[in-house]
Amino acid sequence: MKIKLFAFIVSIFFIYTASAIKITFLVPGKSNEDFWVTAAEFTRAAAVELGFDYEVLYAERDRENMIDLVYKIASETNKPDFVLIVNEKNSAPQMLKILNNNNIKTFLVHVDLTDDQKKVIKYPRSIYKNWIGTVVADNVPAGYQIMNEMYKNIPENLKSKKMFKLIAINGDKETKTSLEREKGLYKFLNENKSIQLLQIIAAEWDRDIAYQKTNHMFDRYKDIDFIWAANDPIALGALKAVYNHQKLPGKNIYIGGLNWSKESLEEIKKGTISTSLGGHFINGACAIAVIFDYLKGIDINSSNYEMKINFFSPIGKKEVDEYFKYLDKSNWNKINFKKYTKFYNKNLKEYKFNPKEILKDYK
């Protein structure tokens, strides 16, 4: 009888412990910003499925507010067990220090440290022991693929043109995400000498700024064939400017972006935007799966507890209608996230985080 009672108490303890694990996602973007809301809500679906308490805090693209939120988290009576942070505006070192000093475990997601930052704070569990791991997107292939998708989809009769003119609009000049996407673009250009980069500018990830700066580019350069955009809001801002200059997007000028935003997919369906890369919004959900395994005693087996994943895939004109269904948030609670953990999938040696596969994996 005593043994049964003890077993019952132990089982209740573990159930309570599992349900008490709290994860906070500190989102750098705005609470009405399509990509970041999508990323936060997909992460929520994974967290709920795997039995975590989950909350989202939005910094509203304000670096000072983001740091204030970290201090607020650290001072709470009911502190989270884990915080997902993003190295937006290169703010991760300060956040890692605050959270580490308050004994809160941290995962870095979406935006990696810069090379200079890594020289100072190294890697997870070195200087900051509560920095448990890093799970981020590899943005170099994304930058390459935006350009590749635009180029390969132009009509055959235009491919004989000797020289194409390109404007590139990046997000900013300092974050790892921007630098990597730009590096991918340059890799493509080094392999394709028939494309001339006229100028690369930054739009601070902002649609309106992209619109204004694209107008200035048309004032400066009359013959533009391609506009490479680091994300969809930039692509949509550039598209608006293109119409001001009597261009025909999808016919005599080609625009490519990244995010799989609904508005961009509508433009792809119409043929006015050539491509949108995406899938990286699952990044936080992947970190949730890794945290789940970590709590089950299955640790990250990557070098220095860092994982860099190529999440990105293009959605083409023929796929748009299909993916509208998969990108509907009401369907995400049907996804079997347990399948992507090593605890539940004993045959899984390496994580397989393919966004197109995961989105289709309904229970």
Residues 96 and 76 placed together within one structural domain of the fold? yes
C-alpha torsion angle, residues 199, 204, 210, 216 (rounded to 10): -50
* Residues counted in the chain: 363
Same domain flag for 270 and 327: no
Kindly state whether residues 122 and 191 are assigned to the same domain: no
Last residue of a domain, one of 259, 278, 297: 278
Q: Which residues in the chain come in under a pLDDT of 70?
A: 1-19, 363
The pTM (predicted TM-score) of the whole model is: 0.91
Residue 321, domain extent: 2-137+280-360
Tell whether 145 and 273 lie within a shared domain: yes
pLDDT at residue 206 in the model: 94
String of b and e for 251-289 (b: at least 16 CB within 10 Å)?
A: eebbbbbbbbbbbbbebbbeebbbbbbbbbbbbbbbbbb
> What's the confidence (pLDDT) of residue 5?
46
Report the C-alpha gap between 85 and 27 in whole angstroms.
Answer: 7
Tell whether 222 and 210 lie within a shared domain: yes
Q: What is the pLDDT of residue 156?
A: 81
| 123 and 32 housed in the same domain | yes
Q: Which of 245, 278, 311 is the last residue of a domain?
A: 278
246 and 216, same domain (yes or no): yes
Residues 144 and 274 in one domain: yes
* Whether 133 and 254 share a structural domain: no
Counting the structural domains of the chain, the total is: 2
Q: Which of 230, 253, 278 is the last residue of a domain?
A: 278
Question: Which residue type occupies 121?
Answer: I
Same domain, 116 and 30: yes
Same structural domain, 266 and 318? no
Domain harbouring 110, CATH code: 3.40.50.2300
Residue 19 confidence (pLDDT): 52
DSSP string across 176-238? HHHHHHHHHHHHHHHH-TTEEEEEEEE-TT-HHHHHHHHHHHHHH-S---EEEESSHHHHHHH
CA separation, residue 143 to residues 154, 201, 262 (Å): 18, 15, 20
Residues 321 and 266 in one domain: no
